Chains A and B, each alone.
Chain A
């Protein structure tokens, strides 16, 4: 059944902080509306209201022009609203099989017996998978969901949502974990859903995706809708509205830096057991971008250079000396820092303040002997907050209370404000809006100009084009291509990335 969704003057406050200040827009059946906004603009809050997670708010939600009562996630579902949330971990139930996860909603409602035989589960699961054209075989369906890769987990959640034949589908950053091939498959499905009359709210940071998919664009800033555009979109206007600053004049292109001195030479490095060994030199004075699809071996390389994991083979030389980091501590002492990929798992300490998180890798610097000096610690955190323009109440606020982009600024900034010789950044821009992304990229540029090295590992070509000088392309653990950006093109990079050995 086709349904329209209307949001009318929706307001939501947390204490004295008004996060949504009267939001109104409408999605027609068979329309894809994209929601664009910086971190902290209110997107997540709106999604939580629509999906029934937040029930206290002012204003009205209308479905087919009738006031709808969405007082729980279950209610939202019964009205035909399905949401695929950004955080995959919150949807996947570890310990259950893939099939059980696919059918979880129906199992939870008792529509499928909890005691159903595995073969019956697999049969039911097959039907669900048809909605996404997934061709997972029975052994995968019976396997623990934990053994699925992050991209497959994301697809599983989508399949689960689509199994309810939603009339209104909310997708929150659905592509952040997907490879290009999977993204294009997802887009085919989304376009088919639109043709079937489903109303879709699509939230993403990736402008290219919005350009390709969306019929209309809603730009949100500070809880207020700044503008609504129909195709064709004026991106300069949209970014201006989203960020509240004028990017139209600022240059997209950066001046390319070329380094001369080799800082870290990697010889005969082997990333996976069966991958080809390769050698390369990372130079100071330039930003090296390492691009590759998910699973190309980027994180493995980054962690090995930092001493968090071991290379399968090969040797490292740092500033002309043999370098064999056994632990991250070894690397940090040499001035090699890593900002790791998954900030929730590998960076954030629950309930820890910005100050304490900032100083953790450099406790020695804020201590006299072994005694902590709290003034120095505060000073350090204040420096970070000012330099990266972290939006926070105080340096004592916990990092988990910040918005995603500001969390990332803290995680990146705590290394940036120290003297590094070589900074490794694994997906530093994930879940970060363009404003924060440019600020972080600028800091990296300053670091490099001072004669240090930086390597950005990313699977997003725009991020690399915008922040790096030199690009290395990794495919299946092998470095396939090495060039300065001015000597190559976006098309060539994409072509090399998708070449398989």
Chain B
């Protein structure tokens, strides 16, 4: 029995508000892009555009991981530490042990999956709330990665404990991860796009993704609908850490050394882009394209302001403002209840 015309919308005010909630964030992105494009000569260069995207890809890919953990109603705080681990581990493998790039990449990805399994174990088996469990593992990872390198950054030609010089270096193949291009498009950007498409298809077109959203929305109802809640929560954290280790590889390739502070600021930036993503198109839930757009807007604003001579130390204020704007779209203006992060 279909009923017609049960529409809550009323008058122009509501139409305008709905439009704003739905397209507001895309508009903001367009406006900032166009205004920088119009006013800053350097911003118009295509090299600026692609280097901005390349710069953004690390945060964007980590944000995809956080977005997946948010989809199951949690939040993975250990992604920044995982990316940092990837930097140190790949440096160790190539510089200290003189192994080829492929070994470094494989080790980092395996380590990422293991970290994901650890988080899943803490959350699903030991039943520690998501935020607290990943906070603990964040500290553990940050600390543990310092042990084999004695708390020092690893760089080519550095002095080892026994007085000899480190035998290896960041191989050219490894450096290509960040610097390589397909035509004008950097590999990192291609990777970002492919992973965004993969996450999007995964979440919206597969039974796995549907089940993950269900778990995030109401775990008890999901359990009673026969969903394996533990499995999907675990899966989200494993994928999240896996994506963080990929972004760690890009970061390592960009820095070209095992900087122990790498990845430190990544967590907050990627939480921000994933949160921003929930407001895009009034989705009200974590989603892949929203996260990508959130990262893109952050990239545009930061790059544009930097070119315009805005001081670097003011960047966080801008990020905060962008996030706040997105949250106003999600919570204040939207009539749909937005809900994510039910942990703690």
Contact = CB atoms under 8 A, between A and B. Distances in A.
Given A327-B223, A328-B223, A349 B10 contact: no
B1 A332 contact: no
A389 B210 CA distance: 26
Interface in A98-155: none
A388 to B, nearest CB: 9
Contact of A360 (B206, B227, B284): B227
B226 A361 contact: yes
Given A348-B221, A349-B217, A393-B4, A356 B210 contact: yes
B336 A328 contact: no
Interface string B243-286: 00000000000000000000000000000000000000000110
Interface in B207-230: 207-208, 210-211, 214, 217-218, 220-228
B54 to A, nearest CB: 32
Nearest to B4: A393
B339 interface: yes
B282 to A, nearest CB: 10
Interface stretch (A9-17, A29-37, A42-50): A9-17
Contacts of A87: none
A-side binding surface: helix, strand, loop or mixed?
mixed
B2 A364 contact: no
Contacts of A348: 218, 221
B150 interface: no
A329 interface: yes
Interface in B278-301: 284-285
Contact of A329 (B217, B228, B339): B228
A393 B6 contact: yes
Nearest to A352: B217
A394 B8 contact: no
A251 to B, nearest CB: 24
Interface of A: 14-17, 306, 308, 327-329, 331-333, 338, 340, 345-352, 356, 360-361, 363-364, 367, 370-372, 385-386, 389-394, 401
B9 interface: yes
A346 B3 contact: no
Contact of A349 (B7, B218, B228): B218
B208 A370 contact: yes
Contacts of B4: 393
A280 to B, nearest CB: 24
Contacts of A351: 217, 284-285, 336-337, 339
B218 A393 contact: no
A347 B223 CA distance: 10
B311 interface: no
A363 to B, nearest CB: 4
B284 A391 contact: no
A347 B224 contact: yes
A394 B4 CA distance: 9
A327 B219 CA distance: 13
Which 5 pairs between the two chains have the least Cβ-Cβ distance? Answer: A332-B226, A361-B225, A349-B217, A363-B207, A329-B226
A17 B4 CA distance: 9
B8 A360 contact: no
A386 B227 CA distance: 26
B183 interface: no
A370 B204 CA distance: 11
A385 B3 CA distance: 11
Contacts of A389: 1
B224 A308 contact: yes
12 contacts: A14-B8, A308-B223, A328-B223, A347-B221, A349-B218, A360-B222, A363-B207, A363-B210, A385-B1, A392-B2, A393-B5, A401-B6
B206 A371 contact: yes
A425 to B, nearest CB: 13
Contacts of A340: 224
B205 A371 contact: yes
Nearest to A19: B6
A394 B5 CA distance: 11
A350 B3 contact: no
Interface in B176-218: 205-208, 210-211, 214, 217-218
B6 A390 contact: no
Interface of B: 1-10, 205-208, 210-211, 214, 217-218, 220-228, 284-285, 336-337, 339
Contacts of B337: 350-351
B-side binding surface: helix, strand, loop or mixed?
loop
A299 to B, nearest CB: 12
Contact of B3 (A347, A364, A393): A393
A186 to B, nearest CB: 30
A271 B112 CA distance: 45
Given A17-B6, A351-B337, A346 B224 contact: yes
A476 B47 CA distance: 76
A367 B207 contact: yes
Nearest to B285: A351
Nearest to A364: B207
Contacts of B205: 371-372
A394 B227 CA distance: 26
A365 to B, nearest CB: 10
Among B10, B221, B284, residue most surrounded by chain A Cβ atoms (within 10 Å): B221
Given A329-B226, A370-B207, A392 B3 contact: yes
B9 A15 contact: yes
Given A328-B226, A371-B205, 9 more contacts: A15-B5, A17-B6, A333-B226, A349-B222, A351-B336, A356-B210, A360-B210, A361-B226, A385-B1
A363 B9 CA distance: 33
A300 to B, nearest CB: 14
A370 B211 CA distance: 11
B206 A345 contact: no
Contacts of B211: 363
Given A347-B221, A349-B221, A372-B206, A391 B5 contact: no
B10 A15 contact: yes
B7 A15 contact: yes
Contact of A394 (B2, B214, B222, B339): B2
Contact of A391 (B1, B218, B285): B1
A387 B284 CA distance: 31
Nearest to A329: B226
Given A371-B205, A393-B2, A16 B223 contact: no
A281 B9 CA distance: 53
Nearest to A374: B205
B217 A350 contact: yes
B8 to A, nearest CB: 5
A367 B205 CA distance: 9
Nearest to B217: A349
A16 B7 CA distance: 6
Contacts of A329: 226-228
Nearest to B283: A351
A347 B205 CA distance: 22
A306 B224 CA distance: 9
A143 B337 CA distance: 32
Given A15-B7, A17-B5, A393-B6, A350 B223 contact: no
Contact of B225 (A14, A16, A328): A328
B217 A370 contact: no
Nearest to B204: A372
A421 to B, nearest CB: 15
B216 to A, nearest CB: 9
